[in-house]
Amino acid sequence: MNDIQQAEFEILKYFDELTDQYNVKYFLFAGTLLGAVRHEGFIPWDDDIDVGMLRSEFIKFQEEMLKDKKIKENIFLQSRKVHSYLATEIAKIRNSSIKIKERVPNTQKGNIGPWVDIFPFDNVPDDAKERKKQFQIVEFCNDWIKRFLLIQVEPEDKGIKKILKFIINKLNRIFYRVNPFLLILFKVRYHWITKYNNQKTEFVGNLGHMYHGNYENYLKTVFLKDDVDDLKPLHFEGTQFPAPANYDRVLTTHYGNYMQIPPESERKVHKIEYMKI
């Protein structure tokens, strides 16, 4: 493990202790689940940890952590329950004592320290048309939330594109707290993300993620509910953590041939401004 992975692994172990204390179920997800199966630890180039929870567990975990008076120093929850203008519906556990900062616009608060991503999973309708409609409405809200909160100048931006992004970023920083459309978008998005949670459905989906890109990519994160509820321990960096018992079906849905190492051009990492461990 490199330094950032070691820091994140320590957060994961503490997070695991908290979920046990709060009687909350979670599972290794995405690159972390893939790493556990393919590498028995981190994917070598990975720079974060991903876990998933069903919505009921996600709500319970946040409530318990926010009222817990014995949380370790510098460990904190980053979510919309803490930062109401956070763009994403996922949550993160961070360690602020380690100086890693994601490069994000100033509208986003709490982005200091290595993290563990917590993805909530919500019921999706069994009817294919309704499932696509749910995604499209959530994605429409995401597109506008990004415009109001997440536009920033990237290092590769040049000319008019750079100037326009600079102006929009500046305006967003000044006006985002008084933008009435943002509150409407947040409310509509959450309504549609959670719309089917009181109904019995066969599948759950990762609707909290903002960067699926298209419906086909989103479907790669729609799993049988039983597959993310029936768990077994898997080794990750020498320690056991809960994971989907049918991890093969979950990973095949998500990645296809998941045992194949991708080319360097497809190995994604996060935008980090500075790091001091």
pLDDT tens-digit series, residues 119-169: 999 999 999 999 999 999 999 999 999 999 999 888 888 999 999 999 999
Specify the 3-state DSSP secondary structure of 114. Answer: coil
Specify the 3-state DSSP secondary structure of 4. Answer: helix
Residue with tokens 């630890």: 41
Residue with tokens 């599948």: 203
Share of the chain above pLDDT 90, in %: 79
Q: Label residue 85 exposed, middle or buried (CB < 10 Å: 0-12, 13-18, 19+).
A: middle
Average per-residue pLDDT for the chain: 92
Residues whose CB falls within 8 Å of the CB of residue 46, separated by 6 or more in sequence, listed in order: 5, 31, 32, 35, 269
Residue with tokens 């990004």: 146
pLDDT tens figures, 78-135: 999 999 999 999 999 999 888 877 778 889 888 888 899 999 999 999 999 999 999 9
pLDDT of residue 45: 82
Give yes or no for residue 204 having a pLDDT over 80.
yes
Give yes or no for residue 33 having a pLDDT over 80.
yes
For residue 139, give Cα distances in angstroms to 143, 163, 205: 6, 26, 13
d(CA 221, CA 212): 9
pLDDT of residue 106: 84
Average pLDDT over residues 171-190: 94
